Structure 1
Amino acid sequence: MKENLIVTGGLGFIGSNLIKLLLKKKFSIINIDNVSYSSNFFNLKDLPKKNYKFIKCDINNKKKLVNIFKVYKPLAIFNLAAETHVDRSIDSPKSFIESNIVGVFNLLEAFREHYKKYKKIKLIHISTDEVFGDIIKGRSNEDYPYKPSSPYAASKASSNHLVSSYVRTFKIPAIITNCSNNYGPCQHPEKLIPKLIYNILNNIPLPIYGDGKNSREWIFVEDHCDALFQVFKKGKIGEFYNIGSNKNYNNLEITKKLINISSQHIKPGNHVKIKYVKDRPGHDKRYALNSDKINKKLLWKSSTGINKGLKKTFLWYLNNQKYFKSIKKIHITKRLGTI
């Protein structure tokens, strides 16, 4: 009998990488995506048709979700359907509330209805380190208080609370993960690393917010997906798991690494220089997770160093420049979140 898994938001960056991993693990995958601006069929263009099905559906459509769950009876649902870009949440918070809070509520209601009849299922809700806000010193563990700074982070914090409340009140089997900054193939170029790569490949200055000292914990997307698989296989219902690399780099360090990596493969144009721009409103200085729990309990650790990961990422974009053509140029070049 086929073992079905559902991935919501599977046309996005992390979702598409997760689907590739799960197919390699011999599961049958149902990809639910609403095909928003950040969804991209290019991400899964080479997938074999076998054991994979795409269904266009918004997670706010509870009735359709209930039917999909009933038809496919998945062992698990990985919820990656979300609005994710902080700058966009500053310009237009409403879509983040609708997707990341109301959408998760509707997903939970559909899941709860399905779970009454079909007990062999679990929900893995994927979230972010941004829920903890600025971590100037040390690292935030799973019990650290939430203090989100942006509408995006607040919407994800809200979704975590909703999922956790459904576990406690309605006894649904769910697990929540908070991950650090992802990078890798198939990431939309509104985000820092693919935007820098796009600009390097197109001889455009490299925009750095503020003084460039904002620090992030970077994790290669394939490492994150491997962690999610371990959570699915061995994670404890009702628990939170932080997923990080334990390695922090500021935006200037990342930019200089990318310039160095790119110069080993192409000759960057004379406009490829760091250009400091107005900072993002409410920009957190540092995120940093303590991932001891998943390291010890599930025996998972990230394995891709930053230099290796950035090289793999740069080479993917260099060899897949058609990817950029699959995205509206305005979504690549327009600066958002300046108020």
Structure 2
Amino acid sequence: MRVLVTGGAGFIGSHFVRTVLGTGYPGFDDAEVVVLDAFTYAGRPENLTPVRDDPRLRIERGDIRDPQRVAEVLAGTDLVLHFAAETHVDRSISGAADFVTTNVVGTQVLLQAALDQGVRRFVHVSTDEVYGSIEHGSWPETHPLEPNSPYSAAKAGSDLLARSYHRTHGLDVVLTRCSNNYGPHQFPEKVVPLFVTNLLDGRPVPLYGDGRNVRDWLHVDDHCRGVALVAARGRAGEVYNIGGGTELSNRELTTRLLDAVGAGEEMVDPVPDRKGHDRRYSVDWSKIRDELGYEPRMPFDRGLADTVAWYRDNRAWWEALKR
């Protein structure tokens, strides 16, 4: 089986690739993995160093917005795992164009190439942010899409395109929507690695607004295992939420990170809130649990401690990224 992983040098995609070529996932034992990545600021060749010499891995540089390049790399592919995206909300607020072209146009290019070349299955990896903000309860997969940032709006557009290729053309497409990921190799613009690396350098951490915005935290290993389950046994045309089961306010998360590095409250720097900042995310992941047997396995306290330790022990990976 040949698997194309878009964004395979990024945080989540590279974790999937390293795991497939290491301990593996059921159904992927003989997989040949092709990584397609544009190697922009967040796609790091170093993320693939542990598996770079694996004979089952091929790394291709290319932009998913380029139909000719996508068609070349996609040839002979059985399964597409589409992780590639522009993802940072703050960047989308200051400039939305790359988010629209990469997340929407790039996804359409991939879907068309997959259709043209007879790919057996296309897994589109999305986010809970497409649902908007929820005050109480949790979103099921059937909840209307109500994105509030240019990033989440672009992802919602890509979700609808993926669904349309299944409905219109019969392409075997399955969608996943995950909650907030954390873990090693995450680019230090996202809250966990940003705060950890700041604190390791003795610098304050910028906490938005009143710090009461709530997120559900999902370790990258649990997320990738959920994606593998959906790829192997998910129903065509369906959406599967993937959650972590640990809801924390940003203030609570900050307190845990301060404790993890032995820093005090004086290291918290309150800053004006982000434009359009969603108050709370919470996904109902009972569907993937009931249909595919998914459960998050990484306890949050252990996952966070392991993540902090990774950044402490791998300073060379992130120092240059923060200059």
**TM-score range normalised by the length of the shorter chain:** over 0.9
Which digits, 9 at most, give the CA deviation of each residue in 1:237-296, with x for residues without a partner? Answer: 111000002321011111111111222xxxx4x796111101000000000000000000
1:315-326 counterparts in 2 under 5 A?
A: 315-326=309-320
Paired AA for residue 22 in structure 1: V
8 Å contact from structure 1 (residues 246, 290) kept in 2: no
Counterparts of 1:271 and 1:294, CA distance in 2: 39
Instruction: Give the equivalent residue in structure 1 for 2:182.
Output: 183
Helix, strand or coil: the match of 1:152?
helix
- Residue equivalent to 2:7: 9
CA contact (8 A) 1:63 1:110 kept: no
Give the Å deviation of 1:98. 0.6
Query: Which residue identity lines up with residue 290 of structure 1 in the other structure?
Result: D
8 Å Cα contact 2:206/2:270 also seen in 1: yes
Q: Which residue matches 1:298? A: 292
What stretches of structure 1 move > 6 A for 4+ residues in a row?
none
Structure 2 length as normaliser, TM-score? 0.95
Q: Give the TM-score, by structure 1 length.
A: 0.91
Distance 1:326 1:235 in 2: 40
Tell me, yes or no, if structure 1 residue 58 matches structure 2 residue 52.
Answer: no
Task: State the alpha-carbon separation in 2 of the partners of residues 149 and 292 from structure 1.
Answer: 25
* Correspondence for 2:99: 96
Per the alignment, residue 19 of structure 1 pairs with 17
Partner Cα distance (1:238, 1:132) in 2: 18
Report the Cα distance in structure 2 between the residues aligned to 1:271 and 1:201, rounded to whole angstroms: 15
Mapped to 2, the partners of 1:97 and 1:20 lie a distance apart of 29
1:35 is aligned to 2:45: no
Distance in 1 between the 2:43 and 2:51 partners?
16
Q: C-alpha separation between the residues in 1 aligned to 2:45 and 2:69?
A: 22
Aligned to 1:227: 226
* 8 Å CA contact 1:89, 1:96 repeated in 2: yes
Equivalent residue in structure 1 for 2:110, among 107, 123, 139: 107
Tell me how far 1:75 sits from its aligned partner.
2.4
How far has the Cα of 1:325 moved from its partner? 3.0
1:328 offset after TM fit, Å?
A: 5.0
Match of 1:46? 50
Number of aligned residue pairs? 316
The letter for the 2-side match of 1:76 is L
Alignment match of 2:79 (pick from 76, 80, 87) = 76
Mapped partners of 1:272, 1:159: distance in 2:
42
Structure 1 unaligned runs (5+)?
Answer: 330-339
Q: Distance in 1 between matches of 2:16 and 2:320?
A: 21
How many angstroms does 1:46 deviate by? 2.0
Secondary structure of 1:199 counterpart: helix
Q: For residues 325 and 210 of structure 1, what CA distance do their matches in structure 2 show?
A: 27
Alignment match, 2:260: 261
> 1:199·1:272 contact (CA, 8 Å) conserved in 2?
no
- Report if aligned partners of 2:258, 2:265 keep a CA contact under 8 Å in 1: no
For 2:279 and 2:235, locate their aligned partners in 1 and report how far apart those are by CA, in whole Å.
32
How many angstroms apart in 1 are the aligned matches of 2:181 and 2:266? 24
* 2:242 aligned residue: 243
Q: Distance in 1 between matches of 2:247 and 2:149?
A: 21
Which blocks of at least 5 consecutive residues in structure 2 are unaligned?
none
The separation in 2 between residues aligned to 1:276 and 1:148, in whole angstroms, is 26
Structure 2: distance between partners of 1:108 and 1:44: 25
Moved more, 221-230 or 244-253: 244-253
Q: Indicate if the aligned counterparts of 1:40 and 1:326 stay in contact, CA closer than 8 A.
A: no
C-alpha deviation, 1:63, in angstroms: 1.6
Q: 1:66 to 1:195 in 2, by over 3 A?
A: same
Give, in whole Å, the separation in 2 of the partners of 1:219 and 1:272: 28
State the alpha-carbon separation in 2 of the partners of residues 186 and 175 from structure 1: 26
- 1:281 alignment counterpart: 275
Query: The residue matched to 2:321 in structure 1 has which SS?
Result: coil
